[in-house]
Amino acid sequence: MTARSIGERIKKSSSLDRRKAIALEWQAAWKSDNDITIHLLERAIGEGRMGEAGHLLGQLKTLTEKRLGALPNVIEKLADDDI
């Protein structure tokens, strides 16, 4: 099974309430991923593990860029009356 993008999931949903729920689930997962990564990053820095901190910083950047890149599509799909 392949994971579908947030835009595809919203597009395939049948109601506005479901589209909102999908977007809110996506936002909650984004926040959780960021919170976990930031916590690990803070711990690595606090313990002086700079190599791991650098890796986690790169991971945080990738997570953020991916989701910020999808955000305009999510907004557009939520506002689309033709779905």
Question: Could you tell me the pTM of the whole model?
Answer: 0.81
Q: Given this model, what pLDDT does residue 82 score?
A: 65
Using one digit for the tens of pLDDT, what is the confidence trace for 50-71? 999 999 999 999 999 999 999 9
Domain ranges of the chain: 21-78
Q: How far is CA 61 from CA 33, 42, 51, 56, 69, in A?
A: 12, 15, 16, 9, 12
